[in-house]
A and B are shown apart, each in its own frame.
Chain A
Amino acid sequence: MLIILPLASCIRDTELDSGERPQVVVECILTNSPVQTLRLCFTKGASREREPLTQADARLYDVSENKAVGGFLFSDADIWTLRYEPTPGHTYRLEVNVPGYEPVLAEQTMPEIHVRAVYYWPVFGSSDKYEYNSFPLIVYELESLPDFTWVYAMSWDQLSGERRIADNLCTDFPYVDNFNLTGDVYDPQVDTVFQYGLEFHYAKYWPLKGTSMHRKYLRIPYPKTVDKNWLIVSGDMKGYFPYELNKQSQLVNDGVVEDVEEGQGYVVFAAISKDFDAYLMDAIRIQLLQESSDLSSIYLRENIYSNITGGLGIFGARAEQKMVWMNEKSFFEE
C-alpha cells in the first residue's frame, strides 16, 4: 500500500517492549458436552520468552444453585479439564488463583439451543424466485431464540482427509450480521439432470441467489426481535452431507446429527453467550484480516474483547447442535 510516496517510503526496525509483568490469560468456553476445557497461559512481551503456566487453582461455581461444581485438573501443556456438563440457563463463576497474582474471576450464563430441520421442496414455478426447479432445501427452524446464534459448516476435504470449516456461507435470514462479508454474492449453478428418462433443471438453493457471501460464519443477533425464526443456508460446502427421510418424507430426528462419521459434513448452530459473542466478533474480524492480503491490516492493532477480571481472555459459553444439510451429491445418493 502506501503505494506511491512509496516511491520511497521507508521502513526500519524498532525496539518495542512494554516491560510489563506478564498477565494471566484465561480461555474457557462452557459447552453442552460432558467435559469442560480451560486454557491458561501468560502473555508474552516482545523480547521475552513465553513462560508456561502450570501452577494454578481453577474452580467452577454454579451461581444459580450457589454451589461449587469442581476444580479443573491440569491435563497437558496449557490445558485443564473438568468433567461436568453445564445446565442451560444457569450462571457460572470461574475463579483462577495463580501464585503471586490477584484472583482471576469471570461469570457466564449457559445458553441453550433447539434447532430442527425441515425437508422442503419448493413448488415449481410458484414465484419468480423459484423460476427454476430448485433442489429440495433443508430449512432450519430456530425453536429456542438465544441472543446470538452463530452458524458454520464443516466440510470434509477428501484431499487432506480432514474436516474443514467451509470458507463461504450465505443465508436468507434478513438480520444476519454483515461483519464478515467476502464481497461475493451467491450465484447458484443450474444443473441439467436426467432421471427416469426425463430432463430436469435444478438450481442449488435458488432462493439464495444474489445474497451476500459471509466468510466462514453467519452471525445472527437478537432473533427475538424479529418474527421470522427460520432460515436456509448454503455456501461452498464440499463433500458428502447425508440426511435421512422417514416414510412421511420428514427428516429423521428433526435433522439433528448425533454421531458424525468420517467423511461426513454437517452444519453447526451454536447459541453463544453475549460475552463470547463480543469476543468472537473481535477475534474473527482480526483473524480474517490477518489471513487476507490486505496489507493495511498490519496497522490494525486493537485489544480483543475480554470479560476476565484480573486477567485477560474469555470466559464464554456456547451450546451447539449439529444439523444435516443437503447438496446435490447427497440428494442423488438419497
Chain B
Amino acid sequence: MKREAIKDKIAGIEFRILSPKLARKLASVKIMTPELYDADGYPVDNGLMDLRMGVIDPGLRCRTCGSRVQDCPGHFGGIELARPVMHVEYISYVYDFLRASCRSCGRVILSEADMEKWREKLENAQKEDSLVQVDIGKALLRKMKNASKCPHCGEKQEKIKLQKPSTFLEDIRKLTSIDVRERLERIPDSDLIFLGMNIMAGRPEWMVLTILLVPPNTVRPSITLESGQRSEDDLTHKLGDIVRTNQRLSENISAGAPQIIIDDLWDLLQYHITTFFNNSISQVPPARHRSGRVLKTLSDRIKSKEGRFRHNLAGKRVDFSARTVISPDSKISPEEVGIPYEIAAELTIPERVTEWNIDWLRKFVENGEKYPGANYVLTPNGRKKVMKEAKEVILSELAPGDIVERHLIDGDIVFFNRQPSLHRMSIMAHRVKVLPFKTFRINPAVVHPYNADFDGDEMNLHIPQTEESRAEAKVLMALSTQIITPRYGSPIIGGSKDYVLGCYLLTKGNKVFSREDAMQLLISSGIEDIPNKKEFTGKEIFSLILPKDLHFVEDLEKAKEAEKNKDDSIVIIRKGNLVTGVIDKKSIGAGRGSVLQEIFKLYGPKRSLEVLEKISLLGSNVVMYFGFSVSPADTDVSPSLYQKVVTRLSDAETKVDDLIDLYNKGKLEPYPGRTARETLETSILPILNKARNDSGRIVLKEMTGKDRTFLMIRSGANGSPLNMVLIGSCVGQQNLRGFRINRGFRNRTLSHFKKGDLGSSARGFIKHGYKAGLTPTEFFFHAISGRDSLVNKGMRTPKSGYLQRRLVNALQDIKVFPDGTVRDASGTIVQFSFGEDGIDVSKSDGGTIDVDMIIRRHASK
C-alpha cells in the first residue's frame, strides 16, 4: 500500500461570493458561439466545447495547460452577459439588502446613534469566545425594513416587493437588474456589517451577474453513443441556450431594437440562467430537454438523495465486500458466518510475508486460484502479479516483505451487516466459516440484532484489510461483545425458537435419561466434561452448559416458597446446578433478567458466547431427540366448551343491543364532552373486548399444557395465547382507523344489514374463530381491517425512517470526552455527565449498576 507523508493539512474551507474580476481571471475562454463542433467534428473555437476548457477526448491536448485527458483538471470559460442578470440563489439576500438600504444614498437605514450601539454588539458577537448572541435577521433587518425615511439623506423610502421568482417592484415600477446592481453598489463597505455580511466575503453587487462562468468540459463531458453520434450533457444544452439568448440580446441592443424586444430577451436570458443554476424553483417552469425530460442542472447535481453528497460521498461503493441471500444454520456458532466457497475465493486478506509464515503463505500461492489460494502478490517495488502462468516465477521470488493477498479461510474476522443499519448491532464482526452452497449462513440466534429473517433477506460482508482494523473489530465489534444492547443494558442476543423449546422440554418435570441418551445429547452439543453417572435428569443435562459456580435466582421474593414446594415455578441455579424451575424464553432468551444476562455480567463476553453456542446446539438436539410436531387438532375445542363460548358471546351481543335500544330511545346518558353516539361507541367497545377475552379464557382452560402447540407458546418459542384464541374461539372486533367499521353504504356497512343497524355483527364483530370459519360478512370486515393495517404500516415506516435520519444527522458528532462530558463537534458541552449518571448502559446491568451486589460478591470471596 502506498502511503505519502502529510505535508499540509486543510484547516478550513471558506465560501465567498465570486467577484466578476476573479471570474474574468478564471475564464480561459470567452464563449461567443453556441456551436459545439465544426463539420469535421472538431471543437469550435470560442464554442462551448472549446479545447481551452480542457480535454475529454483521448489523444487531444488541452490548449490551456497542455496536458492530456488524465492530467488536465479542466478550466473555466466565461460568458460576458449583454445585460446583468440576477443570481437566483442570492435573491433572498438581495431582497433584504434592497429593503434595508436607502434608495438614494445607499446607506443602511439606521441612525448614527443606533449604528454605534449595534456595531459594538455585532463586533462583540463575532469574537470566538463571545457571550453575546445576536440574530441579525430578526432584530436589525426588521427595524430597517420598516423605516420610511433615510436618517442620512432624508430621502423618503418606497416599499419594495419581490415578485417571485426574481423581479423586484418598487411600488409598481419594475426595478431592472441594472437598477438593483446600482443600488447594491452604493452600499458602503462600512455598512455591510449591519446587513450581516462580512466585508471579506465580497460585495453585495456581485450577487447580480455580469459575467457567467462556464464549467469546464470535464464537468459536462459529452458521450459518444454506439452509433457514433455525440450526446451532450444537460449542462451543455443549458449553456447553449444561454449563449444563444445572450447573443441575440446583444445584437438587438447594438441594432437599437425597441425596448419591448430587448426586455423580452432579457427576461428569457434571466430564465435560462436561473434554470442553469436551479431547475426546481417553484413558479419557474423547469427547463426541458427536446424529448420532454427535465434537465438536470447544477443544484440537482448536488442536492438530495441522488446528489453528490448523499449518493457519491456518503454512499460510496467499496471493494472487498460481498452480498447474498442469508439462510439459517444452527450448527455453526452465533459468532461465525457461513460463506460460500465462490465468495471466499474472490475476497482476499493481505498478509505480509515473514520468515515465520513464508512456508504457510507459499501454499496459498501454489494453489493460485484454486480455493485456499491467493489472487495477487505485492512486492516492494509495487508490482502486482496475477497468478496462473507466472506462478513458478512468483513462487521462486517470494520473500519476506512481500504481501500475499490470500483467500478467506476459516477463522478470519469479517464485518457482517444488514440494512437498515439502525443501531450498532447492525454491523458486527464474525468469524469466517467457509461452507458449500451459495448463501451466507447465520445462526438463528443472531437474527434479532440484525432484525433479519430468511424470506429472501440479503446481507453484506466486508473484509477489513489491515491488522489494526482486524484488532479493533475483534475487541469492539465481535458479536460476543454486542450481546448486551446499549439501549437498555440487557441481552439482545439469546435463545429463541427451537433452542427455547428444546431447553423447555429438557428441563420440564423430572425426565430421566439413560447414560447413552445423555451422552448422545451432550457430545453432539459439544459438551465433553460429563460426570460418571448411570442416569441423568433433564435438569442435570442442562446444568452442564452452565458455569460451575453460577448462582441465579429468578425472583428472590418467591424463591423460598418455590423451593419448598418444588413446583418448578421459579428458576433457581445453585453452584451451576439447576435446582428447580423450567428453562424457557424468560430465562435464556433475549431481554431483561435472563440467566444469560447474569452470565455476561459475571463471566464476560467469551463465556456468554460459549453458553449461547451450547444452548443452540443442545436446544435443537433435544427437539430432535424427542421429535416435535403440531397438529390442527391442538386447537380443537370440545362441543360443550364451544357452547359456553357461544353463550358468552351472545350475552355480549344482547348487552350491546340493549345499549343501542337505549340510544335509539334517546335515553343514553352522554359522557361529559361527548355526544350520545360517541358515548355509545365507547361503551360498546369494552363489552365486546371483554367478551372476546372471556371466550378466549374459556377455551384456553381446556388447552393448557395439553398439546404441543401450547407447549410452543408456553416455552416462548413461538406463538401467543392470542393466536390460539383467534383460531379456536373468536376473532373479535375488526377496526378501521381506530373505530368499529362504519363506512361502506349509506348508513350501513354492507347491504346485508338494515340501514342504521349499529349491532355488533353489523359493525365488524367476528364471533367465530378461524377454525369454525367466518361468515361472508365477517370475512369482508376482516379484509377491511387487514388492508387498513397494511396501509398504515406502509405509511408509518418511511415516516419513522425520515425521523430517524434527521435525528442521526443531528446527533452524529456528539461523543463522550475523556473527562466524562458529552460534547458536540465544536467542543461545546451538551451534558456534564453522560445520561446524568455517567453509566455506559452497554456495560451496565439493565441500565444501572448494583453496587451492593458487587460489594457482596467481593466480600464473600
Q: Do A and B come from one complex?
A: no
A residues at B contact (CB < 8 Å): none
